[in-house]
Amino acid sequence: MSRILGPNPYKNRNAIKSPNEFYGRRKLLEQVYRLILGHQSVSILGERRVGKSSLLNALTFEPFLKKSGLPEEFHFVQVDLQYISGGTEEEFIDYLMWRSARVLQLPNPEPGYRALAILADQAAAQEKRIILLMDEFEALVGNKNITPTLFARLRSWVSAFEIPVVIASQEGSLEPLLRTDDVGSSFLALFHPVYVGPLAAGEAEELIRAPARFSGVEFSTEEVNWALGLGGFHPMHLQIACYHMFELKQAGKLTPLALDAAFEYEAADHLRYLLDRLPAARSHIVLSRPEPTDRPGLDYDSAGRLSADLLRDLGVPAGADAYLCGPAGFLTDVTAALVEIGVAPTRIQSEIFGAGPPLTPGIAAAPARPPHPPAGPPGAGPVVSFARSDLSVPWSPGYGSLLELAEACDVPTRWSCRTGVCHNCESGLLSGAVAYDPEPVDEPAAGSVLICCAQPRGAVVLDL
């Protein structure tokens, strides 16, 4: 196990405020800089927690500024509108002027709308130019104390003094401005939209690997794929997945099952939020074997298996398009249930876990060394025999599974998920009996065992 040299670099859940923590988004950053250089205001749009505020902050980071081409007379004035949420127009103007005067090192002008022009004139006299950055702009738009007059005044100010403005807001949150006669529309016409979406594949891998490497840890390709499988290309989800992967790796407890549980516990609320934003979305979670800690109505909706009766009760229409992903038995059963309620087979798409090559090369691959007893004191449990490898060793509960024991002995194995899902590890059980923890999604064939999640109940002989 790698020695952890630094603290967990994935603990931040807020907007990035350091260039050392900003990964990816370089093309978006360059696009915004180019628009500013062209005297164009910018509206950064995207879903919740996708990185809009981080991109806004990154515009001010010194390493990026040096490459931006922006002249030195430009000064960024950052305004987080959450600080004055619910305030009056006068409080907003006063706060804006106070922030500007502080950044430009100018005296704070008298309160009122005239202060906008006075401050801009003072800045121009000292060959200083303002770039106004406003985060959480929807807080201003949704404030009932703000009238269309404010947006008209702002538009006149930034147009007269050629002040580029960059705002960040949740996509769709500025629509109320379009319903304020022509004032809101003319204000929004100042802005070129820049959409912040999921990371590109290379950016996602950079976010996974680089922080850990900086802290002295190297995630394997397999571990990177685990994080991608949970977080996709959403930066916040990846941050959550990597945080728990780092913690579990440090503790020597990193498995796909442990990572999945930790990720789901933290990310569940945000995933529900995203689902709720989908038009006409519905969710029904079925757990085949709920744990005692699983809460009905919160962690899951029903127990058992997806059946035709359940699908009928849920009102799944016969004209639905179905997308299935899981092991072979799951795909067979759910496909049959869908067909039974009238869904045409041509409308059912499926993806099997473990359909591709396993992540280890399998029995045909030559091990780095011949099979051997594991290092350390011998266990005191039942004897585990690897028939093909001509090796018998006593079991120790220190191994989480027969797979872990085989790996400690350099016995060639085949595996992928390590949680009883993909069946890549399915091997012959020549004699003996096993218990499963965790329980596999589908039982192995008769005379076989899923060594990734199995423990011996007595002496066993494996066809390995």
Cα–Cα distance measured from residue 243 to residue 423, given in angstroms and rounded to the nearest whole number: 28
**284-319 per-position pLDDT tens digit:** 888 887 878 888 887 789 988 889 999 999 999 999
pLDDT of res. 361: 41
Report domain 25-196's class: alpha beta
What gap in Å lies between CA 293 and CA 348, rounded to an integer?
34
Tell whether the model's pLDDT for residue 366 goes beyond 50.
no
Q: Does the structural domain 383-462 have CATH classification 3.10.20.30?
A: yes
Least Cα distance to 408 among 439, 451, 437, 449 occurs for 451
More confident residue, 145 or 176: 145
Average pLDDT value for residue range 74-98: 88
- Phi-psi category of 350—alpha, beta or left, where left has phi over 0 and alpha has psi -120 to 50? beta
Q: Contact at 8 Å (CB) between 273 and 434?
A: no
Domain boundaries, the chain: 25-196, 383-462
Q: Does 64 have pLDDT greater than 90?
A: yes
Helix, strand or coil, per DSSP, at residue 185: helix
Residue 141 pLDDT grade (very low, low, confident, very high; cuts 50, 70, 90): confident
**What average pLDDT does the segment 430-441 reach?**
88
- Residue 295: Cβ within 10 Å count: 9
Amino acid identity at 377: P
Distance CA 394, CA 382 (A): 6
367 has a pLDDT exceeding 50 = no
**Residue type for position 418:** R
> pLDDT by residue (tens digit) across 204-221?
999 999 999 988 899 998
Residue 415 or 8, more confident: 8
Report pLDDT digits (tens) over 371-381: 899 988 888 89
Q: How confident is the model at residue 359 (pLDDT cuts 50, 70, 90)?
A: very low
Task: Check residue 314 and give its pLDDT.
Answer: 92
**pLDDT cut 90: percent of the chain above it:** 44
What's this model's pTM, rounded to 2 decimal places?
0.64
Percent of the chain whose predicted confidence (pLDDT) is above 70: 92
Across 226-237, average pLDDT:
89
